[in-house]
Chains A and B, each alone.
Chain A
Amino acid sequence: MMAVPTILRERTPQLIVLAVILALNAIISPGFFSIEIQNGRLYGSLIDVLNRGAPVTLLAIGMTLVIATKGIDLSVGAVMAIVGAVAASLITSGYSLPATLAGALFVGLICGLWNGALVALLDIQPIIATLILMVAGRGIAQLITAGVILTFNDKPELIFVGSGSFLTLPMPVIIWIVIAILAILVVRRSALGLLIEAIGVNRRASTLSGVNSRVILLAVYAVSGLCAAVAGVIAAADIKGADANNAGLWLEMDAILAVVIGGTSLLGGRFSLVGSLMGAMIIQSLNTGILLAGFPPEFNLIIKAAIILIILVVQSPASQTAMANFRASRHAVAVKTESREHAAR
């Protein structure tokens, strides 16, 4: 029972930012917080934020673990496109929904393992290793769809994954919440999270102290691939088709941004899945807010750039040492005055 408040207390800045943005949204559009039930499904802007944020949230879960190992996965957007194409082509060629989902997840797993193998076995820098799939991935997706947007309007079972609802909540929301809880439990209720952080701090040292860093790195990139696969299926099911060019375009940047906003350091060694989820929600509420305010969506990029800059300044080692020095000097002054008073007495 005590665990939940601690997690939230650690993430106070993110919570404040999220609350401020939601409050601004509510000022812009008064009905923002109203939620109503129609046809057994919840409707409202807040639900919409949760729903629209599903792909970035899922990507952010995998990305958090990758970044915690001092890595990065640039390929997730391209993997989404590949998986969307695979799912669409499987379902349109007559496979059942379970077979389609299994095939799609398998392809995502393979993509993740490929990245993981390059990083863990060939020791290639993560940026570069995942760049290969980022460049080639959309080409592969085009190859699968043969250059057209594969639509599956007549396949309600797959569309259900993107726009159906279960227990009054939209399916994407349920999927990301379940996966997030699973990930948090697995990582934090076992030593796995600690081992991942150990690799991020110093891979060589953790290998020497008996951590099987190769297997863990492979697993982390595989998880990222799987998360991207789920996001890809949701994105494809949402538009009832696989768009190899635009599915997941630039979402890797949003996912990285969500992770960074959530307080996970890009330098590795420390991560917070809850923080990343909040980061993803902050990004999505911003997007929704900009739309509600009637600003052109072009403002999005500038606001995102400004957020990154602020976080950079706060997170940077330079300003951290400056803060530490400031505190130390105040402490020194306090000690000095105290001793002077002592001497005077």
Chain B
Amino acid sequence: MKNSKYLPLIATFVVFVLAYVICISVFPNMLSTRVAGNLLTDNAFLGITAVGMTFVILSGGIDLSVGSVIAFTGVFLSVILRDTSIHPLVAFVMVLCLTTAFGAAMGATIFFLDMPPFIVTLAGMFLARGISYLLTTDSVPITHPFYSTLQEIYFVMPGGGRLTLIAIVMLVVFAVGIVLAQRTRFGTYVYALGGNLTSAQLMGVPVAKTTVGIYALSGFLAGLSGIVFSLYTSAGYSLAAVGVELDAIAAVVIGGTLLTGGYGFVAGTFLGICIQGLIQTYIVFDGTLSSWWTKIVIGLLLFGFIALQRGLMWMSERSARNMRHASAVQASSA
């Protein structure tokens, strides 16, 4: 059992290493901190929201609203910075409060109305996208000097690669996410919810508080991801980040988290993000392949990992049955 718990994570790691080796053997230039730095910067917003998605999926739920929330955050920031003299930092706090409350409201709806997370967060997805349309349908540039200051912050890695501020934010979020999942009571509750809701309830897990907390966390991280995205693009656009929720779910699944909940690791999601980033980088390096190959390869990887998970579950069920059978035989012979 202990082995099968880590097997999806190990499989992801092996796939990542293999993919990187293949990439390097075709394009030796990909072995540089510049490429690594760009990969982290380009996928920073996706990584941050994928951490929130990992918690949601670990608890057996799903959050379809994150892409719309990212777009809303960008539009909100750009409109506020254009029309008022509020400092970006204050605007950041405001938008994070809004998105966290939004997530918490979805969590409360899911728990108190006892409805599938899928349809509740679908409504959230429509609502957030609709509100950002109402704010503006134009792409609004952000020209605040504070943004340029933030964009100029980077840390030069050996080899000349730049670790930008947003990449650092993503790494910090992953580190905090790993600690939160593995070392805190909240993390244990999340795993318990995803493992078996009824047993979690009977064991005294505060299901209501945890469910609201999980979706609030996802909302908060989607907001943070929106801030990072606005730093990355220097603009707010209501049509931005369409389909990011699918990329985030894909990263979580490729990272070895079981979609039924209860098993998985935040670190795996990081590998999932890196694999997606590698595919994109490979396509950019190649130049002749079209970007739609990314989607097909991600689809194939998704299928591969889901099939692997099914296989593992089937094997563990069979071994459990065999053990039960063996003990039954023992008991009858005794």
Chains A and B belong together in one complex: yes
A residues touching B (Cβ–Cβ < 8 Å)? 72, 118, 122-125, 127-129, 131-140, 142-143, 147, 244, 253, 256, 260, 266-267, 296, 298-302, 304-305, 308-309, 312-313, 315-319
Q: Please name all residues of chain A whose beta carbon is closer than 8 Å to the beta carbon of B120 when the two chains form the complex.
A: 312
Taking a contact as CB atoms under 8 Å apart, the answer to whether A135 and B246 are in contact is yes
Asked whether B137 is an interface residue with its Cβ less than 8 Å from the other chain, the reply is yes
B residues touching A (Cβ–Cβ < 8 Å)? 62, 109, 112-116, 118-120, 122-127, 129-131, 133-134, 137, 238, 246, 249-250, 253, 259-260, 290, 292-296, 298-300, 302-303, 306-307, 310
Taking a contact as CB atoms under 8 Å apart, the answer to whether B129 and A301 are in contact is yes
Taking a contact as CB atoms under 8 Å apart, the answer to whether B133 and A296 are in contact is yes
Taking a contact as CB atoms under 8 Å apart, the answer to whether A127 and B246 are in contact is no
Question: Distance (Å) between the CB of A254 and the closest chain B CB?
Answer: 10
Taking a contact as CB atoms under 8 Å apart, the answer to whether A72 and B306 are in contact is no
Residue of B nearest to A309 (CB): B123
Taking a contact as CB atoms under 8 Å apart, the answer to whether A139 and B130 are in contact is no
Taking a contact as CB atoms under 8 Å apart, the answer to whether B137 and A298 are in contact is yes
Which 8 residue pairs across A and B have the least CB separation, nearest first? A136-B299, A301-B130, A298-B133, A139-B295, A302-B130, A142-B292, A316-B113, A305-B127
**Given A302-B127, A312-B115, residue A124 in contact with residue B299 (CB < 8 A):** no
Residue of A nearest to B119 (CB): A266
Taking a contact as CB atoms under 8 Å apart, the answer to whether B114 and A131 are in contact is no
Taking a contact as CB atoms under 8 Å apart, the answer to whether A312 and B109 are in contact is yes
What are 7 A-B contacts with C-beta separation under 8 Å?
A132-B299, A133-B299, A135-B246, A253-B126, A266-B116, A267-B116, A309-B123
Taking a contact as CB atoms under 8 Å apart, the answer to whether B306 and A128 are in contact is yes
Q: Please name all residues of chain A whose beta carbon is closer than 8 Å to the beta carbon of B131 when the two chains form the complex.
A: 302
Residue of A nearest to B296 (CB): A139
Taking a contact as CB atoms under 8 Å apart, the answer to whether A142 and B119 are in contact is no
Q: Please name all residues of chain B whose beta carbon is closer than 8 Å to the beta carbon of A123 when the two chains form the complex.
A: 310
Main secondary structure on A side of the interface with B: helix
Taking a contact as CB atoms under 8 Å apart, the answer to whether B130 and A135 are in contact is no
Taking a contact as CB atoms under 8 Å apart, the answer to whether A124 and B310 are in contact is yes
Q: Please name all residues of chain A whose beta carbon is closer than 8 Å to the beta carbon of B116 when the two chains form the complex.
A: 266-267
Q: Which of A131, A267, A315 contacts B302 (CB 8 A)?
A: A131
Which of B124, B134, B293, B303 has most chain A Cβ within 10 Å? B303
Taking a contact as CB atoms under 8 Å apart, the answer to whether B302 and A135 are in contact is yes
| 12 more A-B residue pairs beyond the given contacts A301-B130, A317-B114, with a C-beta to C-beta distance below 8 A | A125-B260, A131-B250, A132-B306, A136-B295, A138-B295, A147-B292, A244-B292, A296-B133, A298-B133, A298-B134, A302-B131, A308-B123
Question: Distance (Å) between the CB of B146 and the closest chain A CB?
Answer: 30
Question: Distance (Å) between the CB of A329 and the closest chain B CB?
Answer: 20
Question: Distance (Å) between the CB of A251 and the closest chain B CB?
Answer: 13
Taking a contact as CB atoms under 8 Å apart, the answer to whether B137 and A296 are in contact is yes
Q: Which of A127, A132, A316 contacts B303 (CB 8 A)?
A: A132
Question: Distance (Å) between the CB of B109 and the closest chain A CB?
Answer: 7
Residue of B nearest to A321 (CB): B114
Taking a contact as CB atoms under 8 Å apart, the answer to whether B310 and A122 are in contact is yes
Taking a contact as CB atoms under 8 Å apart, the answer to whether B295 and A318 are in contact is no
Q: Please name all residues of chain B whose beta carbon is closer than 8 Å to the beta carbon of A256 when the two chains form the complex.
A: 119, 122
Taking a contact as CB atoms under 8 Å apart, the answer to whether A312 and B299 are in contact is no
Taking a contact as CB atoms under 8 Å apart, the answer to whether A318 and B113 are in contact is yes
Question: Distance (Å) between the CB of B126 and the closest chain A CB?
Answer: 4
**Given A127-B118, A312-B119, residue A301 in contact with residue B246 (CB < 8 A):** no
Taking a contact as CB atoms under 8 Å apart, the answer to whether A135 and B295 are in contact is yes
Taking a contact as CB atoms under 8 Å apart, the answer to whether B249 and A305 are in contact is no
Residue of B nearest to A308 (CB): B123
Once the chains are docked, how many angstroms separate the CA of A300 from the CA of B122?
Answer: 14
Q: Please name all residues of chain B whose beta carbon is closer than 8 Å to the beta carbon of A137 when the two chains form the complex.
A: 299
Once the chains are docked, how many angstroms separate the CA of A139 from the CA of B250?
Answer: 15
Taking a contact as CB atoms under 8 Å apart, the answer to whether B249 and A139 are in contact is no
Q: Please name all residues of chain A whose beta carbon is closer than 8 Å to the beta carbon of B134 when the two chains form the complex.
A: 298-299, 302
Q: Please name all residues of chain A whose beta carbon is closer than 8 Å to the beta carbon of B310 when the two chains form the complex.
A: 122-124
